[in-house]
Amino acid sequence: MIDTEQAIGTLKLKNKFIMAPVKTGYGTLNGDVTERHIRYYRRRAEGGVAMIICEPFFIHPSGKELPTQIGIHDDRLIPGLLSLTDAVHEKGAKICAHINHAGRAANPKLAGKMLMAPSAVPCPVHGVAPKAMTLEDIEQTIRQFADAARRAVQAGFDALEIQFGLGYLAHQFFSTHTNKRQDEWAEPLRFSETLIKTVRNRIGQDFPITARISGMEFSQNGTSTEDARTLAIMLEENGVNALHVVNGSACDSPPVYYQFFALPEQQNIKAAQAIKQTVSIPVIATGRNGNPAEIRQLAESRSADFIGIGRPLVADPDLPNKMLSGKDGAVIRCGYCLQGCLLNVKALNGLKCVVNPEVGEINEWRLSPAENPQKVTVIGGGPAGIKAALTAEARGHTVDLFEKEDHLGGQFALSFLAPAKQGMKILHDDLLHHLEQSSVAVHLNSEITIEKIQQKNPDSVILACGAQPKIFPFEGLESSSYWNGFNIYSFKNWKNVKKAVVIGGGLIGVEAAEFIAGQKIETIVI
């Protein structure tokens, strides 16, 4: 049962839903908590999750991943962290600080000459070789973890999570692929064991601690499930109260780390099952847990004690409350496309979502009812038009939506036709499902005119007509002799095509080329 009360050490949790760490990029260059963080986490707490494990907090600038990452490396940050814990507690959830040092996976532009790891093995993502840590570096870093843990306690966090997996520093010591040392720190478990013992001594034996581990690294010479079992046993013996099981490595298997939708499902659940059979402490299973039916199946199977949910709570912060009240069909599911979340964070725009445009914004906290309900006309039945219509309806307006085609979804209906992108259909189908459940009046096959607008006499008109492919016209190119990146998906007569040239090697161009080549046609990208 998903509503069963569970415990992690001395900490009681009201249900099985735990929010897994998701990077937001909402911070300052100095590592401060911002009002945007507080809005974001408070909203997830309001949605019914039992505990929120925050995004990674860096324990020292040498282990920083993002310019706008939250820090826990300095006492001056404690008041800001305290405001975050207060906001989450106010909404009835517990909150856990996740502390980490990225090691060779740190951003070299931020770490500068301080980029360091067990050995000088470069991270393939950026190719920069770190400095092999000295004995003093190692001892100092372990102290920094303990200092960060002490600050988490002072800032009012209910639990602490330490990163031992995903290709970060502790994992780099654990893996023979990245630990090439010849001294006493060459022993795979030594760093992790010393780290957890030092932290325990600093914050006491009763404060709840979870450890995040990779069940399998999914890379050449990477750690295996048997390695993970060995690590799990050691962590339990040294006072860890729960294990948070994921897969992958930030450096060597990023798609597995980020759980991209093109990968096989259930890999993380299998890893959690293996660890669950190895230890007696609770196990948190995280990785693409956004489908209500699969969540219920996981909860009933007892493959894990807690259901870790990250990006699905970005897409729908109310997922726990909806499921706890039996409204599974109302959940807006995450498609794991990584476009709104990961790409925006990496571009330093902050966390966003393709199906939840409110995420991180001021109005995400509460969508207020309109003071003066209006008649609203929305032109365009693509994702922007549908979301605008649903939002207007939710605020109490009367809404008419016009679409000139005989179907809804606009260009979003093409998103899942490209190779390996079938996961996008989840987002498309859920958007249409929620529109069907609404009171929005939908008019298909209705190309809008001024006369039609005047006939409806709306108070407001929202234009959401979509984009058109950019065409670079040149001599000899006739409109009947080329396709664009959209209409190739509706083309049927492939048997008469011998060779295709794709002009443009961006995302749409490469996807188009893959699709055409899949029809057994010689394809050239320029």
Could you list the active site residues?
168
How far the first Cα of the chain sits from its last, in Å, is: 55
CB 485 within 8 A of CB 512: yes
Structure tokens at 471: 């065409």
Q: Which of 273, 330, 282 is nearest to 50 (CA)?
A: 282
* Strand stretches in 200-344, DSSP E: 209-214, 242-246, 283-286, 306-309
Number of Cβ within 10 Å of residue 103's Cβ equals 28
Report how far residue 329's alpha carbon sits from residue 151's, in angstroms, rounded to the nearest whole number. Answer: 41
d(CA 148, CA 141): 10
Sign of the dihedral defined by the CA atoms of residues 469, 472, 475, 476, in that order:
negative
Which residues lie below 8 Å from residue 221, measured CB to CB, with a gap of 6+? 175, 176, 177
Structure tokens at 119: 């050995």
Dihedral angle computed from the Cα positions of residues 387, 88, 351 and 436, in that order, rounded to the nearest 10 degrees: -20
Q: How far apart are CA 507 and CA 513, in angstroms?
A: 10
Helices 424-436 and 383-394 pack at an angle, to 10 degrees, of 40
- Amino acid at residue number 223: T
3-state class (DSSP) for residue 402: strand
Residue 403, CA distances (Å) to 112, 257, 410, 424 in order: 53, 39, 9, 21
